[in-house]
Amino acid sequence: MDNNCIFCKIAKGEIPSPVVYEDDKFFGFLDMSPVTKGHSLLIPKEHHVWIHETSDEILSKILIIAKKIINNMRNNLKCDYVQISIVGTEVPHFHIHLIPRHFGDGLPQFEKIKYESDLEKKEIASKIKNAL
């Protein structure tokens, strides 16, 4: 854990936050600045800044836990679906946003962009694919 990380402090109980999930490796809590009621964050207790720095084991387990929380949200909050967001810029600790949503709730969607050409699309796809 990082003693200066707000999410590590929340996971240790130093900063109170309503808990939605906890085990020995993961911690889920209500977001302090929610966009919907029930908006939660799920984090590994072990400090990782970015998703690409996180082990495959932690990534696979956190997604399985996220799925359980999503099912509980859908059943108990009566939402239509749960939006998952992994942005990582607000707090330097890998986290997953779980946002209960309703169809037509008016929350913003991603803005769309346009590629300049099919050639540009192919070049970008190739850069991503070739790096794998």
Could you list the active site residues? 95
User: CA-to-CA distance for 39 and 25, rounded, in angstroms?
Assistant: 21
User: CA-to-CA distance for 126 and 120, rounded, in angstroms?
Assistant: 10
Q: Give the CA count within 13 Å in the CB-facing half-sphere of 60.
A: 3
User: CA-to-CA distance for 107 and 126, rounded, in angstroms?
Assistant: 33
User: CA-to-CA distance for 47 and 50, rounded, in angstroms?
Assistant: 9
